[in-house]
Structure 1
């Protein structure tokens, strides 16, 4: 009797749910099944009854919103695209950069010293970005969702997915461009005067290298996950570089030059500004 009473109460609660609440519960329950392994195109293993049970909603309310599993998958695909696109950005890069630059104030005063720091940032951050990408369920899901566009049948659902992916990609590139522009300002490097693409194109090219290697990793990890001797950074000895970092180094060398008007005395203040913006721990003064 008590169980029947509890079931009646639960059904009454479900009856008071709005359509948006039901949608949210269903989307959250469905996406939770992909959170650790990434989405596969079309969610082939997704069972509606399992999602409904996990969402804690009634079957009748679900099928009032979606007439079929395919209709639900169509909306879920767009929701997945939005969710995973927002998860692509990784804020560790700026924290890592702050730590590296703050740790070597002896290199701040000269252009050669600051170039060594830039090389170390590229070597470390691009390696981080690559391994974060290949290990990320969000990126795997983003890739799978993007693959859906290859089967574009002109449907409204795929059009919405394409637009969602574009917005997510734009946000990611914007964040990456801001990071590299901040590093240039911090260490006294600027884009060449004859380069009209700005830091946005610079970021697009850099992210293409990381993502391209991540895709190649799926078929040939022996090449993409290997390390190669590259130029020295903080010491005079050659050091190991990941392919993603070597590829990005080529972009850096092609497009950035020393800013002749840079004042290295600004490094300490800007480091503190960046640390405050990211919530990072305080940094030592550049002249410590």
Structure 2
């Protein structure tokens, strides 16, 4: 009798706790997304094993197939889930960038009065600021490869709700990031008294796209044996883009009042970005 009771307790103890449909869905998708983020996205998802998903997520096989009777249905939901967080975590290095700007600019703030010296200072600041930005992005190289693989996979899908939703999620993430960059560029344009070259017919969104493409492209082709080379190319490329797209604004008056205002802004703000 006692042996039978022990067996019954063991049987109950080994039984998986019952999950709701929402919990099953979350566990299956979350586990698979985490696996892909760690190991990368294959060229296609047709080799994805549903049995592996069930085992790794520790969910009921019956519950899984009740939610996704067909493999294509799970893959569709998986693509949408990946797209929601497809863009690797990016930031504008706010407080760090502000601190670096203060350290570089405050000792030389008087140079802003002279147009040529001001322009050389701007280029120097672009070069020094691009290096940590590139290094931050390069540290996420694996995530970027997954992101571009997902983007390519989404584009290759036949027209469907899945394709539309995934493309919308990716597009929204890109838009939010670009908007943050554009806001930062506008702030710096105002601080340094520069403007877009009118004859180029470009917008700040265009400049942001150029700089984003430069950094991401170099990250994807970054040579493991020469990371400093890629970082140097990123800095010089960013400086070239800025030099090509911007010019000093001759309508800005560089008097003591303006210099004092910039100094006060830098000293009084921990995070400009």
| Alignment size in residue pairs | 256
The 5-angstrom pairing of residues 69-218 of structure 1 reads 69-85=71-87, 87-92=88-93, 94-104=94-104, 105-111=106-112, 114-136=118-140, 137-194=142-199, 196-217=201-222
Structure 2 SS opposite 1:133: helix
RMSD (CA atoms): 3.0
Structure 2 SS opposite 1:275: coil
1 CA distance for matches of 2:215 and 2:191?
Answer: 24
**Higher Cα Rg: structure 1 or 2?**
2
Structure 2 SS opposite 1:227: helix
Structure 2 SS opposite 1:89: coil
Q: Which has the higher helix share?
A: 2
Residue in 2 aligned with 1:31? 33
2 CA distance for matches of 1:45 and 1:150?
Answer: 19
2 CA distance for matches of 1:135 and 1:120?
Answer: 24
Structure 1 SS opposite 2:41: coil
2 CA distance for matches of 1:198 and 1:185?
Answer: 15
Structure 2 SS opposite 1:244: helix
Contact 2:131 2:235 in 1 (8 A): yes
Deviation per CA, 1:73-104: give whole Å up to 9, x if none: 1211121122122x342232x33431222114
Alignment gaps of 5+ in structure 2: 1-7
Identify if the C-alpha distance between structure 1 residues 121 and 84 changes in structure 2 by more than 3 Å, giving closer, same or farther.
Answer: farther
2 CA distance for matches of 1:59 and 1:91?
Answer: 44
Alignment gaps of 5+ in structure 1: 229-240, 279-288
Structure 1 SS opposite 2:13: helix
Identify if the C-alpha distance between structure 1 residues 149 and 30 changes in structure 2 by more than 3 Å, giving closer, same or farther.
Answer: closer
Structure 2 SS opposite 1:41: coil
2 CA distance for matches of 1:24 and 1:261?
Answer: 58
Identify if the C-alpha distance between structure 1 residues 48 and 194 changes in structure 2 by more than 3 Å, giving closer, same or farther.
Answer: same
TM (norm. structure 2) is 0.79
2 CA distance for matches of 1:270 and 1:143?
Answer: 39
1:269 Cα deviation (Å)?
3.5
Residue in 1 aligned with 2:4? none
Selected match of 1:256 from 241, 246, 249: 246
Structure 1 SS opposite 2:238: helix
Moved more, 119-128 or 65-74: 119-128
Residue in 2 aligned with 1:242? 232
Contact 2:98 2:271 in 1 (8 A): no
